[in-house]
Structure 1
Amino acid sequence: MKNGLKIAVIGGGSSYTPEIVEGFLKRYDSFPVREIWLVDIEAGQRKLEIVGGLAKRMVVESGLPIEVHLTLNRREAIEGADFITTQLRVGLLEARKWDEHIPNSHGIIGQETTGPGGMMKALRTIPVLLDICKDIEELSPNAWLLNFTNPAGMVTEAITRYTKVKSIGLCNAPIGLQKSLVSKYGAAPEHIYTEFVGLNHLHWVTRIEVGGEDKLDEVMAENAYSAANVTAGEWDPDFLRSLGALPSYYLKYFYMTDEMLKEQVEAFHHNGTRAEVVKRVEDELFELYKDPNLKVKPPQLEKRGGAYYSEAAVNLMDSLYNDKRDVQTLNVRNGKILDFLPEDTCIEVNCLVTGAGPIPLPLTRVPEQVKGLIGAVKTYERLAIDAAVTGSHDLALQAMVHHPLVPSVQMAKTLLSEMLEKNKLYLPKFFG
């Protein structure tokens, strides 16, 4: 076996990069990384150099024999890589701003992974990821691609359906819940079991066990499963009790649409869109990263909505590399797990992680009342994925119409027209 592992981080100029580098340093004994390649595009070169400088200082501080390479040459980074991660944002935060603002201006939820905004992000992102996959098929066909580019479930499904690349999608919500339960109960992570049912950003937790004891009702009663970037009020306790499962905080967009929209509009008038808030946090982070005396990941990074993404990614790499056979919540091909969805679709469920890849675990129960929403959102997702690949206006319109947060055909046509126009630069297939 070759001496140490090669990792390629596509979107290496991301503000999240110090977290993934920290993960590699912490796990070096079990996951011996020899080369980290941070790759970005020309527009991201300044950020790549700043964050790359910090990554190099972190490695020097650790004393470990790891080389950090910064490059704009994606093929050079991918060639011979063992693991490739993608954390990119096509159109940068400027595109996200319009994903949020245009729907809000029509009285519709504006969010970067859910609803019309999530659809635009998918249309911009999927062709870029499929292009990257062509390089992976050619230059490192045995590599694992770990995707946490949002919308992670849709991007991973596109890769699964349209390429031969070994791809797994992941999200920070499951690891975030796990950490909050470790803190609440003072239990070791291996003594906590949570079962997830659904899709990326559309899941329900149907089992929580701590040391073998059922704690689902207790956790639901506390109403504490939340995230910095998805707030609004608490869940209605009668609704939660009768649902019999803990919904992801992203489900507030579907179950509490009016409150979430009201909060988005108010937040926009006070602070601008979420994209503009994130831009300010990012600018602050990059100012910190520039400091030549900074040699560790700064705590301010956790203010970004995706805290623990990178920890989830390094956990997964470690388990694949060492055939650990532990349980992780991942975005993988459905097969026969959710029998009311197509087999080649992507779902978010618990998997046993082996050296040959993740094996999705059978579910204890799938509440009847969640199947309709899963089915409706999956119909939208599959239409949007095929629209992204083909550039078909007809498929894009059908995807927009069939998203549960879009109330009418006329609204779907209006949103699609305005949002495609704003994204013209990134959607050449739609504009011939």
Structure 2
Amino acid sequence: MKLTILGGGGFRVPLVYGALLADHGEGRVTEVVLHDLDDRRLRAVSRVLAEQAEGVPDAPVVSATTDLDEALRGAAFVFSAIRVGGLQGRAADERIALAAGVLGQETVGAGGIAYGLRTVPVAVDIARRVARLAPDAWVINFTNPAGLVTEAMARHLGDRVIGICDSPVGLGRRIARVLGADPKHAFVDYVGLNHLGWVRALRVAGRDELPRLLDDPALLGSFEEGRLFGADWLRSLGAIPNEYLHYYYFNRETVRAYQQAERTRGAFLRDQQARFYAEAADPGVSALRAWDRTRAEREATYMAENRESAGAGEREEEDLSGGYEKVALALMRAVARDERNTLILNVRNRSTLHVLDEDAVVEVPCLVDAGGAHPLAADPLPGHATGLVCAVKEVERQVLSAAESGSRATAVKAFALHPLVDSVNLARRLVDEYAAAHPGLGYLK
């Protein structure tokens, strides 16, 4: 079975390949094709994968190409993890927003809108090519903003594109861990949009254990989200928010922390990964060891400004091992082998959340089998969450409309309607500055 990885020169690709190396079942992936626009990055990641495969007799064969059509032909699965504009683009997204006094983050607020505006046209082109060259392929989207990009691709691929994210998985795992439950046997009632969701229950053998957590200040203070949001606020919500909601609930503190940081997250990763790719190009250096060192530093510093502003301390050791690659492998196995599984995924809403239309992509638990991902029924969200979900989904729709029409006015509307952008005039300024910084936004007129 052939798996094509778009963004195949990306830093996190070895996580996916490592998961594939551990899969020895029937119907597994036997061929991996890496596609990227940067041949230098492809060579570096190929070296890492070659070292990972040493001593594994049935390791999937790896090839690399800069030809997108060649990469797609014959693929059973397409894993999309592209970054339009690279990390230099992300750093610019963050810098421009922070200079204007609003959040600079790659998926939330102004930075996320800018990233979406330049990514959606590329993702749509990929979706059209998949439909033409690999019509039976399943597309697994990890490209950010994941929900928005998945919805854009779904307009051309329907239910054959499924978005994944490791945030809900990590959150559910942490809650189960502090409650002494096995995450494999716990059902996480998680509902919302990508990077905008809430755990409302954690059921073990049919019993909801979340009230026990909310009633125990010591337990709440023992894991990352408890320290990040504070026990009082979590009890007020009656739920555990995705970590990205810290940008909404504590926006002033987060913006201030990001403005005071020596570098933005994007600039940090840009510089860090530049060192890795330079080191991995040296034939006398172990590319795998260089990657391991770089990954450990990357994971340990994730959302560091948020944790510092909240006094949340360092990340737990168990949370430094990634997770999205496990979701991707579980998804592929469920579809390819008809191994029924329940996973939190980004899929078309159908009738899951009645406040959204059926084509809106939501992030909810799904039953996955050979027919794809089927969203499970969910209770309505409380009013405060409903309002936020509807507001952000409308922003996403305006981004999609702007990308399709090329309308600058619609792009301004997308920025102006976002809860974290507080002025129409500021929205106009942001569109002007992002368009000047990113040639990929030249289509806005």
Query: Structure 1-normalised TM-score?
Result: 0.90
Whole-angstrom CA distance in 2 between matches of 1:199 and 1:165: 17
Q: Which moved more, 1:62-71 or 1:72-81?
A: 62-71
- The answer on 1:261 being equivalent to 2:255 is yes
Whole-angstrom CA distance in 2 between matches of 1:224 and 1:86: 35
- Other-structure match for 2:110: 116
- The answer on 1:133 being equivalent to 2:147 is no
Say how many residue pairs are matched: 417
Q: Which moved more, 1:188-197 or 1:90-99?
A: 188-197
Letter in 2 for 1:426: G
Q: Which moved more, 1:110-119 or 1:208-217?
A: 208-217
Aligned with 1:12 (options 8, 11, 18): 8
Check conservation: 2:192, 2:198, Cα contact below 8 A. Answer: yes
- Other-structure match for 2:317: none
Whole-angstrom CA distance in 2 between matches of 1:162 and 1:225: 41
Check conservation: 1:30, 1:318, Cα contact below 8 A. Answer: no
Deviations 1:342-393 (A, max 9, x none): 2111000000001110110001452232111111111111011111122111
- Shift in Å, 1:334: 0.6
Whole-angstrom CA distance in 2 between matches of 1:352 and 1:89: 29
- The answer on 1:107 being equivalent to 2:101 is yes
- Shift in Å, 1:121: 0.5
Q: CA, structure 1 residues 264+81, in 2 after alignment: closer, same or farther (shift >3 Å)?
A: same
DSSP 3-state at the match of 1:234: helix
Q: CA RMSD in A?
A: 2.2
- Other-structure match for 2:84: 90
Deviations 1:254-305 (A, max 9, x none): 11111111111111xx2x1111111233245446645654558726425345
Check conservation: 1:15, 1:285, Cα contact below 8 A. Answer: no
Aligned pairs for 1:228-307 within 5 A: 234-267=228-261, 270=262, 272-286=263-277, 289-290=280-281, 293=286, 298=292, 300-302=294-296, 303-304=298-299, 305=302, 307=322
Q: CA, structure 1 residues 48+283, in 2 after alignment: closer, same or farther (shift >3 Å)?
A: same
- Other-structure match for 1:155: 149
- Other-structure match for 2:311: none
DSSP 3-state at the match of 1:84: strand
Aligned pairs for 1:389-428 within 5 A: 389-423=404-438, 425-428=439-442
Deviations 1:204-239 (A, max 9, x none): 111112454433234454156648xxx9x7324333
- Shift in Å, 1:175: 1.9
Q: CA, structure 1 residues 21+208, in 2 after alignment: closer, same or farther (shift >3 Å)?
A: same
Whole-angstrom CA distance in 1 between matches of 2:273 and 2:203: 37
Q: Which moved more, 1:210-219 or 1:283-292?
A: 283-292
Q: Which moved more, 1:150-159 or 1:178-187?
A: 178-187
DSSP 3-state at the match of 1:111: coil
Q: How many percent identity over aligned positions? A: 35
- Can you give the 5+ residue segments of structure 1 that lack an aligned partner in the other structure? none
Q: Which moved more, 1:300-309 or 1:118-127?
A: 300-309
Moved over 6 A (4+): none
DSSP 3-state at the match of 2:64: strand
- Other-structure match for 1:383: 398
Q: CA, structure 1 residues 30+219, in 2 after alignment: closer, same or farther (shift >3 Å)?
A: farther
Deviations 1:39-97 (A, max 9, x none): 101xx211110111221232243121521101111111100100000111111111111
DSSP 3-state at the match of 2:34: strand
Q: CA, structure 1 residues 414+356, in 2 after alignment: closer, same or farther (shift >3 Å)?
A: same
